[in-house]
């Protein structure tokens, strides 16, 4: 019953009028960001991070979390009505858009909204029970285990986001090296600063995030010159009872799948959606209709999407290791506010942890109202032309980056990373692993040095400890599988080229 | 590979130490070596995969970077309101077929109002005027 007691404490924190306001702002901004092109949750959290300096810790974290899970809700609206996924709702385009073509937009939006609510609610229960348990397990982790866990995160994120382990790992390592710029905390040596005083504290996280995600993404959208026709059809939101009944089995399946996949390193909403959609295609009573625009094709993936977004907070808050780039940024937000996420956070700051958990449920209710009865008003957002939108985004990037240190030098650094991020984008390299590498790099170094110090320089400590040995074994198997897959693919390609015409 | 060499060679200038008591250069050197190896594998792999043309447009990124740098320079030497106006007018050259002075003035006015709200309500230290 401890959990219920703690949740009561959480609701007492989350239901103060200030925190309700921050939660509502977060959900509204998140929904807006999910709908609009050119700004994902990653870029938005980076932009708003400096703006939260003057907000109390609890309110700031509640707002940033609201942006993240709110964006998952909003994204499905643009995917269903116009077949444009911005943040993650790729799968919603399949059946959701088919339903729009059949004139069932209202039903699809209702299904997505209600399923997301179910997914979010299930994930909050999982989060409430699992995070404290995992926090206790995390106390068994030594420096070598943390190193292995971070490496697992690098490998998973690299593969999942870029699809190529080599490209992803390269980006991760570049991030780790960028994280080395500045003063070494152990020896006081200034590393890679090129005698520039403003680099002594390292490169600002916000500058990299805004450059690589904000500026690069704006330029990509300008290059593509996508002209979108706003949705102008009619919306009938309330479904019939038989339609309503069809939502639940699929949404519950999606919630369980999403909750599980959200916890795994490298996991998150995108994988959860695909997995839930695939499972529905196999086991649903209406599996033959999936793909042609049916309720199950929208419900399962929407629930999984939302559930995974919530449970991805579990590794961050209980172990202190973010499992994707958005969580890495959330970790930065925690650290800016002077809180180290990890096993001691739940015991040390129960009001903050349980307040955040309770606020997620409050946010869930806000989002249900915003995305079901009020959805037709949100659709007018699509009428804002991009020529008005992008100077505003640039403005927020400039103000955000300036206000960290009140220094215009940071604007130049952001511009530099904007160019680098754009180059990465054009080369087909995803900057998300770079972000993870940048944030975890100093932690990896610290734990590696500590592990080697304890083992008197012996690397066997990484293999003999059960947790790190298992995790490194998994990495080894994964890399071997990648090598074999590449070899087989290369052989197939060569055989195809050698075939006579 | 160039990035790994840049970081790797510079890290040789710092004390490396030994594994049981690592110096500030050891970790960046190890990571650079790993990155170099990955670069090498990528080069080898590139010989087995089909070539893809690089889609790179200089105009838009150049305008966006110029507007950002212009914002910083104008804000430093004049004030931030002028910097915002410069940024909007400069950035609008990117991507859009129709350039409208009136639209830019309206956007600038809106953004200056937001900046003033940040300064007065949230306590941001913005050198607006």
Q: Decide if A170 and B125 are in contact by the 8 Å CB cutoff.
A: no
**So what's the pLDDT on residue B115?**
86
**So what's the pLDDT on residue A447?**
85
Angstrom distances, CA of residue B1 to CA of A165, A224, A443, B52:
16, 30, 24, 20
Q: Quick check: B63 and B87 in contact, CB under 8 A?
A: no
**So what's the pLDDT on residue A391?**
86
| Percent of residues, chain A, with pLDDT higher than 70 | 92
**So what's the pLDDT on residue A85?**
61
Residue of A nearest to B36 (CA): A170
**How close is the nearest chain A Cα to the Cα of B44, in Å?**
11
Q: Quick check: A259 and A123 in contact, CB under 8 A?
A: yes
| Nearest CB to B87 within list A395, A441, A445 | A395
Angstrom distances, CA of residue A165 to CA of A152, A155, A341:
12, 7, 28
Task: For residues B83-94, give the mean pLDDT.
Answer: 88
* A54, A178, A185, A408: best to mutate for the B interface, most B CBs within 10 A: A408
Q: Count H helices and E strands in chain B, helices first.
A: 5, 2
Instruction: Encode A9-26: b = buried (16+ Cβ within 10 Å), e = exposed.
Output: bbbebbeeeebbebbbbb
Winning range, highest mean pLDDT, from A36-45, B15-24, B82-91, B117-126: B82-91
| Nearest CB to A419 within list B65, B72, B107 | B65
| Nearest CB to B68 within list A176, A180, A414 | A414
Residue of B nearest to A52 (CA): B122
DSSP letters for A305-365: HHHHHHHTHHHHHHTS--SSHHHHHHHHHHHHTT---SHHHHHH-HHHHHHHHHHHHHHHH
Using DSSP's 3-state secondary structure scheme, residue A465 falls into coil
CA distance A35 to A87: 9
Residue of B nearest to A186 (CA): B24
Q: Decide if B91 and A428 are in contact by the 8 Å CB cutoff.
A: no
| Nearest CB to A457 within list B20, B64, B65 | B20
Listed by number, the residues of chain A in 180-219 with a beta carbon closer than 8 Å to a beta carbon of chain B are: 180, 184, 186-187, 189, 191-192, 215, 218-219
Give me the residue label for tokens 């907000």: A55
- Give residue A425's Cα distance to chain centre: 18
CA distance A33 to B98: 26
**Residue A386 contacts B, CB cutoff 8 Å:** yes
Q: Decide if A490 and B122 are in contact by the 8 Å CB cutoff.
A: no
Residue of A nearest to B2 (CA): A174
CA distance A338 to B42: 40
Tens of pLDDT along A228-281?
A: 555 666 667 777 888 888 888 888 888 888 888 787 766 667 778 877 888 888
**How close is the nearest chain B Cα to the Cα of A188, in Å?**
9
Q: Quick check: A390 and B91 in contact, CB under 8 A?
A: yes
Listed by number, the residues of chain A in 162-181 with a beta carbon closer than 8 Å to a beta carbon of chain B are: 166-167, 169-170, 173-174, 176-177, 180
Tens of pLDDT along B29-59?
A: 888 888 888 888 888 877 776 777 766 778 8
Partners of residue B45 in chain A, C-beta under 8 Å: 166, 486
| Nearest CB to B68 within list A166, A398, A493 | A398
Structure tokens at A92: 């919603």
Is-above-0.90 flag for pTM? no
Positions in chain A short of pLDDT 70: 1, 36-40, 83-90, 160-163, 225-235, 265-268, 497-501
**So what's the pLDDT on residue A2?**
78
Partners of residue A228 in chain B, C-beta under 8 Å: none
Q: Decide if A399 and B124 are in contact by the 8 Å CB cutoff.
A: yes
Task: For residues B2-30, give the mean pLDDT.
Answer: 79
**So what's the pLDDT on residue B25?**
81
Q: Decide if A392 and B111 are in contact by the 8 Å CB cutoff.
A: yes
Q: Decide if A54 and B94 are in contact by the 8 Å CB cutoff.
A: no
Among the ranges given (A18-27, B102-111, B115-124), the one the predictor scored with the smallest mean pLDDT: B115-124
Q: Decide if A457 and B27 are in contact by the 8 Å CB cutoff.
A: no
Could you tell me which of A168, A145, A35, A53 has the C-alpha nearest to residue A401? A53
User: ipTM of the predicted structure?
Assistant: 0.88
């Amino acid at each position: 019953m401890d959990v219920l007691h703690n949740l009561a404490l959480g609701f007492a924190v989350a239901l103060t009028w200030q925190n309700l306001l921050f939660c509502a702002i977060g959900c509204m901004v998140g929904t807006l960001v999910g709908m609009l092109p050119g700004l994902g949750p990653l870029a938005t959290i980076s932009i708003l991070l400096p703006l939260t300096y003057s907000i109390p810790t609890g309110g700031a974290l509640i707002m940033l979390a609201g942006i993240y899970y709110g964006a998952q809700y909003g994204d499905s609206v643009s995917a269903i009505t116009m077949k444009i996924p911005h943040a993650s709702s790729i799968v919603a385009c399949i059946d959701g858009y088919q339903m729009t073509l059949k004139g069932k937009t209202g039903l699809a939006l209702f299904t997505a909204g209600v399923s997301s609510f179910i997914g979010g609610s299930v994930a909050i229960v999982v989060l409430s029970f699992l995070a404290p348990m995992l926090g206790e397990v995390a106390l068994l982790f030594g420096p070598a285990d943390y190193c292995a866990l971070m490496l697992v995160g690098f490998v998973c994120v690299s593969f999942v986001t870029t699809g190529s382990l080599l490209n992803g790992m390269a980006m991760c390592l570049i991030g780790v090296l960028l994280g080395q710029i500045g003063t070494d905390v152990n020896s006081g040596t200034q590393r890679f600063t090129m005698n520039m005083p403003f680099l002594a504290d390292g490169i600002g996280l916000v500058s990299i995030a805004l450059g690589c995600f904000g500026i690069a993404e704006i330029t990509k959208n300008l290059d593509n010159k996508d002209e979108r026709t706003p949705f102008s059809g009619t919306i009938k939101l309330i479904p019939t009872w038989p339609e309503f009944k069809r939502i639940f089995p699929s949404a519950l399946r999606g919630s369980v799948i999403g909750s599980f996949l959200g916890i795994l390193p490298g996991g998150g909403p995108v994988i959860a959606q695909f997995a839930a959609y695939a499972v529905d295609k196999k086991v649903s009573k209406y599996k033959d209709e999936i793909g042609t625009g049916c309720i199950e094709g929208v419900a399962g993936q929407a629930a999984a999407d939302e559930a995974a977004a919530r449970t991805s907070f579990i590794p961050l808050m209980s172990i202190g290791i973010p499992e994707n780039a958005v969580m890495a940024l959330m970790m930065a937000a925690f650290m800016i506010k002077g809180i180290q996420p990890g096993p001691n956070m739940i015991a040390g700051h129960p009001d903050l942890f349980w307040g955040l958990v309770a606020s997620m449920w409050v946010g869930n209710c806000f989002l249900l109202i915003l995305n079901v009865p009020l959805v037709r008003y949100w659709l007018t957002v699509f009428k804002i032309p991009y020529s008005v939108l992008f100077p505003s985004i640039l403005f927020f990037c400039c103000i955000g980056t300036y206000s960290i240190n009140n220094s215009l030098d940071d604007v130049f650094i952001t511009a530099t990373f904007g160019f680098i991020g754009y180059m990465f984008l054009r080369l087909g390299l995803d900057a998300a692993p770079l972000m993870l590498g940048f944030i975890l790099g100093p932690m990896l170094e610290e734990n590696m040095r500590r592990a080697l110090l304890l083992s008197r320089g012996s690397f066997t400590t990484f293999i003999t400890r059960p947790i790190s040995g298992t995790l490194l074994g998994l990495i080894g198997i994964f890399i071997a599988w990648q090598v074999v897959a590449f070899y087989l693919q290369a052989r197939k390609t060569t055989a195809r080229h050698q075939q006579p015409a | 590979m160039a990035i790994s060499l840049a970081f790797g060679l510079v890290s040789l200038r710092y004390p490396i130490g030994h594994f049981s008591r690592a110096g500030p250069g050891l970790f960046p050197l190890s990571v650079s070596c790993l990155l170099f190896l990955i670069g090498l594998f990528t080069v080898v792999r590139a010989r087995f995969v089909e070539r893809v043309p690089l889609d790179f447009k200089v105009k838009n990124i150049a305008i966006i970077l110029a507007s950002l740098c212009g914002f910083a320079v104008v804000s430093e030497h004049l004030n931030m309101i002028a910097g915002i106006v410069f940024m909007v007018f400069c950035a609008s050259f990117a991507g859009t077929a129709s350039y409208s002075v009136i639209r830019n003035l309206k956007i600038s006015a809106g953004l200056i109002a937001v900046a003033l709200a940040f300064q007065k309500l949230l306590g941001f230290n913005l050198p607006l005027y």
